[in-house]
Amino acid sequence: MSSLLDAAAGFRSVEWDARPRSVTPGRQRWDVKLVLGRPRTAEVFAAALRRIPGITEARANPVTGGVLVRHDARLRATDVGRIVRRAVTLVAEDPTGAGRPASARPVAAPAPRADRGLVVRPVLAVGGGVAAGIALIKGSALSRQLVAVGGVAAATAAVLRKAWRGTVDASQEAAGPGVERHPLVEIVGPHRRRLCGAVALSIACQASEMALGTLLGWTGLVLIKGQAAPLVRLGLTTASAQLFGLAGLMTAACAAVAGLSYASNLQWRRLGQDIEHDWRNRTYAHVQHLELRHLEGERTTRIAGALTDDVRQMGTFFATSANDLLQLGTSLALLVPLFLLLAPQIAWIAFLPIPVIAWLSFHYQDKVAADYAVSGEYRARLHSQLVNTLEAGATVKSFCTEDYEAERIDRLSGEVQDSSRRTDRSTIRHAEIVRVCTTGSMAGTLLIGGRAVLDGSLPFEVFSPLIGLPQMVMLRMNRLGGIVDQYQRTITAYDRVQRLRALPVETDGTGGPLDAEKARGEIVLDNVTFAYPDRPPALEDLSLTIPAGQITALVGATGSGKTTIAKLLMRFQNADIGSVLLDGRDVRELSRHDLRHAIGFVAQDPFLFDGTVADNIRYGSFGASGEAVVEAAMKAEAHTFVATLPDGYDTVIGERGAALSGGQRQRIALARAILKDAPVVILDEATSAVDNETEAAIQRALRVFAADRTMLIIAHRLSTVRHADRIYVMDKGGVVAEQGTHDELLAQHGLYASLWQLQAGEPAA
Ligand SMILES: Nc1ncnc2c1ncn2[C@@H]1O[C@H](COP(=O)(O)OP(=O)(O)OP(=O)(O)O)[C@@H](O)[C@H]1O
């Protein structure tokens, strides 16, 4: 890290905005304005960060201005923050990275440049060469016009080349090192057949549309000149017959355009939906199997965003923009040769607006991309704030902060409004400039083409049907910037989805299956040390035994590692040192599915789904009968209150069980674990919210339930565990301070005894 820090210290401090968006152990996300709308700077910035020891990954997104930094857990969050800020200062001074020694430059960055010209340079060379060659040989008026066409082609190619560079940057960034196939190919995946069908239909539709335009031109010809030569060749000799013939042909062309347009749009949309559905399912299946530490490390809203917005973006690109691009390409591919063949003298003026509109379109997109990113960010913040405030309704009311919250929403909404206004202004201005260009070119084509017709160098029969066709292309050109924007958004969305899919999933043990029916349930922690990333050890060299068929309790200081023990047992986390054994087998060797099948777990903050009481008790034991559900509810002391609910077990309890009290929620969760009927049951503060009388009843029922199984009870309220066969008293730092039965521990007059006296209201000895 020192090289960058030292180097940065020598530079004048540049006040570039860099703000942390989220900081979790081992990973930070930043908003860095410096990289917004600057792909090259983003590349240099990420490369600069990657060179720093301890930074394992750095990515900068020029579309959103977001920077992701993954780092070694030993690097402190504040140090990483300092590194990011200094990198901003350094790169702001030298955005190209050229000021560094060659050896220090990012290795991967310049490589793609070699391929970029492959597609566009030949167009430039051929277009320019042919035009210049003819001009030199002939030196006629026609050759001058061909030179002009060459100029238009060269200008268009130059504009497209610039845009192509940007998209290549974006796609290479998304594909990452070692990925051979283009992201769009990856996105389409197994839906190539539907893509081919959609492409064929779009091309046919575009050809029909141009045929329709030509027929309209011929109609004008018949009306003005009394006949159209191509129709005479078809045997229609009189003007009236030609008009009837044209009406018939146009009806057929209209029907073909409508039918093909309908079919192609349907195909593209279906393709988009297939892609969205497919990617959502595949990604969700992956997310379901992520290691819990990664799930906890990612923000829920971010994962939900990838599964909804990002996969939708990938589908929408194919449903709309891919179709637009293909139609634009087809119309250009048909029209340019047609003009060059039939009316080369007006081709240059007809197509003159193409490079101008293309340039305007890209320029506009560059400009609004940053605005879109900013307004998207403001919208996301507003959304998140709205959800937070609505969820915190009781807290807001109890602290009388309604006005404060309203002001916050007002401010965020104002920011969204301002940023949207900026984008709207540029959008309208852009549309009007394009309109001026297309109408200007139309006037020019009429003037120059009209003069050519008058001086006899261009037959009116040729000029008339061609006149309206370029407009069709121009109007489509207007969408070019939008298409590129959609492309970049799609690549960024693909990038985010791929990153989610790159997170490691839970691996299974190698020691064969575990038969839950036969499990005895003895649990041993053998010299276990475990630390969460970037934290001191939660458990340190801990050894304890939870005998099979008995009730064991864990009590003690808050944060002393009690829940962590349950997590290690369920393999939500793995011990760093030592091992956790179930019936003498290391849990890491057991299949996670079998292991978790053998354990009934009630978490500290159990989750209830939006559904009926019965659905929630039956969750995970979907085949359980109604009688079994009621029996489990009785054991958990839930039956009495459920019976008083309006629809009994069919009462809908709302999101997270919002329509129940805390104690009622706990009893439903307890009934769920009882119904699972597992040989090992872990209750983590499972009855902390129920009253003493109900808890005593639950304890009685649980003692019967626990008769033939291993039960681990984690609790702060000591009355909950006084009947346990063994109690471990945990102390700070994840160590066992005392152990024994309730009576033995009282007799020790230690930590447990003083806690008991405190809770019983007796003065401490
Ligand atoms: N996901 C996590 N990431 C980082 N640190 C964590 C995480 N979960 C717990 N910790 C830390 O690990 C330590 C032990 O936490 P644990 O939840 O096991 O304690 P506990 O004894 O169950 O506490 P309580 O009685 O308050 O429920 C605490 O210092 C806590 O801050």
For 97-106, the pLDDT digits (tens) are: 544 433 333 3
pLDDT at 302 over 80: no
pLDDT of residue 529: 92
Distance between CA atoms of residues 541 and 529, nearest Å: 5
Residue 523 lies in a domain: yes
Q: Read off the tokens for 508.
A: 């299974």
Residues 554 and 689 grouped into a single domain:
yes
Residues 582 and 659 grouped into a single domain:
no
Cβ(603)–Cβ(670) below 8 Å: no
Residue 79 lies in a domain: yes
The residue whose CA is least distant from atom 30 of ligand 1 is 559
Which residue has better confidence, 453 or 728? 728
Residues 520 and 625 grouped into a single domain:
no
Residue 668 lies in a domain: yes
Lowest mean pLDDT among 226-235, 433-442, 491-500, 625-634: 226-235
For 27-50, what is the mean pLDDT?
81
Which residue has better confidence, 224 or 481? 224
Residues 624 and 691 grouped into a single domain:
no
Determine the distance separating the centroid of ligand 1 and the alpha carbon of 731, expressed in angstroms. 13
- What are φ and ψ of residue 102, in 5° steps? -55, -40
pLDDT of residue 492: 76
Residue 321 lies in a domain: no
Residue that finishes a domain, picked among 81, 104, 127: 104
- Closest ligand 1 atom to 293 CA: 1
Neighbouring C-alpha atoms within 13 Å toward the C-beta of 495: 24
Determine the distance separating the centroid of ligand 1 and the alpha carbon of 564, expressed in angstroms. 6
H/E stretch holding 412 reads: helix 402-454
Residue 667 lies in a domain: yes
pLDDT of residue 407: 92
Q: Read off the tokens for 34.
A: 């410096």
Ligand 1 binding pocket mutation candidate from 563, 576, 713, 731 (most atoms within 8 A of CB): 563
Residue 144 lies in a domain: no
Residues 639 and 689 grouped into a single domain:
no
Report the helix count and the strand count for the chain, using DSSP H and E: 29, 14
Which residues make Cβ contacts (< 8 Å) with residue 538, sequence separation at least 6? Answer: 530, 531, 532, 561, 564, 734
Spatial CA neighbour of 677 closest among 733, 588, 581, 600: 600
Distance between CA atoms of residues 765 and 753, nearest Å: 9
Residues 645 and 695 grouped into a single domain:
no
Task: Tell how strand 523-531 and strand 537-546 pair up.
Answer: antiparallel
Is 517 exposed, middle or buried, given 0-12, 13-18 or 19+ CB atoms closer than 10 A? exposed
The residue whose CA is least distant from atom 20 of ligand 1 is 559
Determine the distance separating the centroid of ligand 1 and the alpha carbon of 352, expressed in angstroms. 68
Q: Is the dihedral of CA 400, 405, 410, 411 positive or negative?
A: positive
Determine the distance separating the centroid of ligand 1 and the alpha carbon of 398, expressed in angstroms. 28
DSSP string, 521-568: --EEEEEEEEE-TTS-EEEEEEEEEE-TTSEEEEEESTTSSHHHHHHH
pLDDT of residue 243: 84
Lowest mean pLDDT among 374-378, 414-418, 639-643, 730-734: 374-378
Q: Read off the tokens for 361.
A: 């379109």
DSSP string, 450-466: HHHHHTTSS-HHHHHHH
The residue whose CA is least distant from atom 17 of ligand 1 is 563
The one-letter amino acid code at 429 reads R
Number of Cβ within a 10 Å radius of residue 334: 18
> What is the per-residue pLDDT across 47-64, written as a single tens digit (0 to 9) for each?
888 777 778 778 887 767
Domain interval for residue 535: 510-598+678-765
Task: Tell how strand 27-32 and strand 726-731 pair up.
Answer: unpaired
How many domains does the chain fold into?
3
Lowest mean pLDDT among 107-111, 135-139, 330-334: 107-111
Residues 69 and 80 grouped into a single domain:
yes
pLDDT at 2 over 50: no
Residue 649 lies in a domain: yes
Cβ(511)–Cβ(334) below 8 Å: no
Residues 628 and 719 grouped into a single domain:
no
Residue that finishes a domain, picked among 104, 129, 159: 104
CATH of the domain at 640: 3.40.50.300
pLDDT at 115 over 50: no
For 136-141, what is the mean pLDDT?
53
Q: Which residues line ligand 1 (CB under 6 A)?
A: 296, 532, 535, 538, 558-564, 604
- Closest ligand 1 atom to 730 CA: 21
Residues 618 and 685 grouped into a single domain:
no
Q: Read off the tokens for 161.
A: 């080349």
Q: Read off the tokens for 681.
A: 């049951």
Ligand 1 binding pocket mutation candidate from 560, 718, 735 (most atoms within 8 A of CB): 560
pLDDT of residue 277: 95
Determine the distance separating the centroid of ligand 1 and the alpha carbon of 735, expressed in angstroms. 14
Residues 581 and 693 grouped into a single domain:
yes
Distance between CA atoms of residues 657 and 610, nearest Å: 7
Distance between CA atoms of residues 97 and 106, nearest Å: 8
Which residues make Cβ contacts (< 8 Å) with residue 251, sequence separation at least 6? Answer: none
Determine the distance separating the centroid of ligand 1 and the alpha carbon of 539, expressed in angstroms. 10
- Closest ligand 1 atom to 533 CA: 4
Determine the distance separating the centroid of ligand 1 and the alpha carbon of 283, expressed in angstroms. 29
Residues 583 and 688 grouped into a single domain:
yes
pLDDT of residue 30: 87
Residues 715 and 580 grouped into a single domain:
yes
The residue whose CA is least distant from atom 10 of ligand 1 is 532
The residue whose CA is least distant from atom 24 of ligand 1 is 558
Determine the distance separating the centroid of ligand 1 and the alpha carbon of 561, expressed in angstroms. 6
Residue 584 lies in a domain: yes
> What is the per-residue pLDDT across 514-532, written as a single tens digit (0 to 9) for each?
777 777 888 999 999 998 8
Cβ(511)–Cβ(589) below 8 Å: yes
Determine the distance separating the centroid of ligand 1 and the alpha carbon of 191, expressed in angstroms. 46
Q: Predicted confidence band at 79 (pLDDT cuts at 50, 70, 90)?
A: confident
Lowest mean pLDDT among 81-95, 617-631, 700-714: 81-95
Residues 738/742/745/751 CA torsion (nearest 10 deg): 70
CATH of the domain at 52: 3.30.70.100
Orientation angle between helical segments 662-676 and 626-635, nearest 10 degrees: 120
Residue that finishes a domain, picked among 72, 104, 136: 104
Distance between CA atoms of residues 593 and 586, nearest Å: 15
> What is the per-residue pLDDT across 237-288, written as a single tens digit (0 to 9) for each?
777 888 888 888 889 989 999 999 999 999 999 999 999 999 999 999 998 8
Confidence check on the interface: ipTM exceeds 0.90, yes or no: yes
pLDDT of residue 133: 55
Cβ(419)–Cβ(376) below 8 Å: no
Distance between CA atoms of residues 626 and 647, nearest Å: 14
pLDDT of residue 4: 37
Cβ(684)–Cβ(711) below 8 Å: no
The residue whose CA is least distant from atom 7 of ligand 1 is 532
Distance between CA atoms of residues 544 and 525, nearest Å: 5
Cβ(62)–Cβ(492) below 8 Å: no
For the stretch 171-176, contacts whose Cβ atoms lie closer than 8 Å and that sit 24 or more positions apart, written own/partner, are 171/491, 172/112, 173/39, 173/42, 173/43, 173/59, 173/61, 173/491, 173/495, 174/491, 174/492, 174/494, 174/495, 174/498, 176/498
Angstrom CA distances, 710 to 93, 258, 562, stand at 65, 71, 17
Q: Predicted confidence band at 511 (pLDDT cuts at 50, 70, 90)?
A: low
Distance between CA atoms of residues 620 and 603, nearest Å: 15
Mean of pLDDT over the chain: 79
pTM: 0.66
